[in-house]
Amino acid sequence: MSDMETADLLMEAPDAALRLLASAIDREFERREPRPPTPYEYAASRLGVNATELVVLTEDVAPTVAHSVGRWLYEAQARWAAEHVGARPNQPSASETVAGATGEVRAFRSATVVLPAGALISGPVVLRLAPDHYDVGVELIGRAQDAEALQRAFVEFLRARRTADSPYRSGAYRVGASNRGLVLDRWVPPAATRDLLKLDPAIWTTVDRTVHRVLELSDDLAARGLGTSTGLLLVGPPGTGKTQLGTVVANELVGSATVLVPGTYVTEHYLTELFDIAADLSPCLMLMDDLDLIAGERGQTNPHRLREFLNVMDGGLADRSGVVVIASTNDHRKVDKAARRSSRFDTVIRMEAPSLEGRLAILERYLAWCDVPLDLPAVARATEGATGADLKELVRATVLATNDTVTTEALVVQAEAGGWRSSGPPAGQYL
């Protein structure tokens, strides 16, 4: 072979190798599955337009609103037998039971649903529910020609999901927090009636006027430009029935109003969001313990938290129409004066230790099971200054100390050692 032939062969070798490599790559791509469409390519194909002709409206929503959207979407898909996939077209949709909602509610957790003309607007649309680690996104996807109608429909749709059509409306919930926002967990108030609290009838008259009447007449009050929200502050030492009074009112309102019981972390870090939910689910009763922890005197509490609290109570940072707050504190002097003015906590009820008649009624309730003759008036006289909680503990301690052989004498002995009694001054000091 001549030198010229050898040189030609060496020059052609790389071309042959590259052709073989290109052929192998082509065969590999042919074996691979095609790239799945994006959510917007999927929506465009179902709406019969190009992806560039889409209008996409997006809003990140709280978990409670996401559940409401998911429920509506779940029911709409079943109603119209609508085509649906997951948040991405190559994934299946996912649904869940919303355990916290009133009743057993089924809702989509992640879905993209093709809705027919007339479902939300006159034309077809695609509604997408897409959760991630921190947020839940709601997207309404439609044709550019329907842009104006889409905007109006999206605003109205989300407003309805937050308010009148929310599955959380008129239930009772403890309010906690997650990385996505506030979470409502179903709460069943302990069985409690007014008969269990031996209070002055004037207290119940104030509760009826300040809580029940405000919520019953909220529409009329709003129409006349009058306040549709109020704050009731319960003041008194521990054991005087402040928490029980709130529980009694909650039992009376469940089913006709939403009841929210926020935890301390929520009231410290999510006040505005808390009142947003309360207003959305109004009429609403909110129960808050230890008000002085968030609305304490200036210089004694976090000033930013106090300012936020005063603003949400006024409606400056959050609409609180139809929201009644029952709060409690052991010492009203620790609550900032600004929190106790009109439109905030304008009604204060002092919860004092029961009178002689009140103590007698409480003892009769806690000792109703006892078939031994007892001189309860004598025991009531021996328990001056005791609260309802003190009397309950008195009976329990007597049962334990006497091995369930309760007598008047045993009750009086326990009363003389009652922990509610203030210790007297020392008689003297000796060296």
Q: How many domains does the chain have?
A: 3
pLDDT at residue number 13: 56
Task: Read off the pLDDT band of 230 (50, 70, 90).
Answer: confident
**423 lies in some domain:** no
Residues 259 and 225 placed together within one structural domain of the fold? yes
**15 lies in some domain:** no
pLDDT at residue number 429: 39
Q: What is the CA radius of gyration of the chain?
A: 33
- In sign, the C-alpha dihedral spanning 83, 86, 92, 97 is negative
Asked if 321 and 208 count as a contact pair (C-beta separation under 8 A), the reply is no
Asked if 167 and 266 count as a contact pair (C-beta separation under 8 A), the reply is no
pLDDT at residue number 161: 95
Task: Read off the pLDDT band of 98 (50, 70, 90).
Answer: confident
Q: Which residues pair with 96 in a beta bridge?
A: 107
**370 lies in some domain:** yes
Tell me the average pLDDT across 36-44. Answer: 93
Tell me the average pLDDT across 58-75. Answer: 94
pLDDT at residue number 428: 39
Task: Read off the pLDDT band of 49 (50, 70, 90).
Answer: very high
Domain C-terminal end among 293, 322, 350: 350
Q: What is the CATH number of the domain that holds 307?
A: 3.40.50.300
pLDDT digits (tens, 9 = 90+) for 383-392: 888 888 888 8
Tell me the average pLDDT across 207-219. Answer: 85
Please state whether beta strands 125-131 and 105-115 pair in parallel, antiparallel, or not at all (unpaired). antiparallel
199 exposed, middle or buried (CB, 10 Å; 0-12, 13-18, 19+)? buried
- Which of 337, 328, 327 has the alpha carbon at shortest distance from 301? 337
**55 lies in some domain:** yes
- Cα(76)–Cα(162) distance, rounded to whole angstroms? 17
Tell me the average pLDDT across 371-398. Answer: 88
- Which of 128, 133, 58 has the alpha carbon at shortest distance from 93? 128
Q: Name every residue whose Cβ is closer than 8 Å to that of residue 242 and which is 6 or more positions away in sequence.
A: 234, 236, 289, 328, 351
Residues 121 and 259 placed together within one structural domain of the fold? no
**364 lies in some domain:** yes
- Cα(358)–Cα(200) distance, rounded to whole angstroms? 9
Structural domain of 366: 356-416
Token pair of 282 as six digits: 């109004």
Residues 302 and 372 placed together within one structural domain of the fold? no
Residues 108 and 155 placed together within one structural domain of the fold? yes
pLDDT at residue number 10: 46
Domain C-terminal end among 350, 378, 396: 350
Q: Name every residue whose Cβ is closer than 8 Å to that of residue 285 and which is 6 or more positions away in sequence.
A: 211, 215, 249, 250, 253, 257, 258, 259, 260, 324, 325, 326
pLDDT at residue number 7: 54
Residues 57 and 142 placed together within one structural domain of the fold? yes
Q: Which range has highest mean pLDDT (84-93, 205-214, 389-398, 420-429)?
A: 84-93
pLDDT digits (tens, 9 = 90+) for 156-174: 999 999 999 999 999 999 9
Residues 373 and 306 placed together within one structural domain of the fold? no
Residues 143 and 213 placed together within one structural domain of the fold? no
Residue identified by tokens 């309010």 is: 175
Residues 69 and 134 placed together within one structural domain of the fold? yes
Asked if 263 and 174 count as a contact pair (C-beta separation under 8 A), the reply is yes
pLDDT digits (tens, 9 = 90+) for 288-344: 988 877 776 676 667 777 788 877 777 655 567 788 999 888 877 777 777 766 667
**17 lies in some domain:** no
- Cα(186)–Cα(192) distance, rounded to whole angstroms? 18
Residues 75 and 132 placed together within one structural domain of the fold? yes
Q: What is the CATH number of the domain that holds 408?
A: 1.10.8.60
Residues 219 and 324 placed together within one structural domain of the fold? yes
Average pLDDT score, the chain = 84
Residues 318 and 386 placed together within one structural domain of the fold? no
Task: Read off the pLDDT band of 8 (50, 70, 90).
Answer: low
Domain C-terminal end among 146, 162, 178: 162
pLDDT digits (tens, 9 = 90+) for 174-207: 999 988 889 999 999 888 888 888 788 888 999 9
pLDDT at residue number 145: 95
Which helix (H) or strand (E) segment is 329 a member of? strand 323-329
Q: Is pLDDT above 70 for 3?
A: no
Task: Read off the pLDDT band of 362 (50, 70, 90).
Answer: confident
Token pair of 153 as six digits: 């429909």
Tell me the average pLDDT across 43-63. Answer: 94
Q: What percent of the chain has pLDDT over 90?
A: 40
Q: Name every residue whose Cβ is closer than 8 Å to that of residue 323 and which is 6 or more positions away in sequence.
A: 229, 275, 278, 279, 282, 283, 284, 286
Residues 157 and 260 placed together within one structural domain of the fold? no
**10 lies in some domain:** no
pLDDT at residue number 122: 95
E-strand stretches of 28-156 = 54-61, 84-85, 94-98, 105-115, 125-131, 136-143
**167 lies in some domain:** no
Tell me the average pLDDT across 144-151. Answer: 95
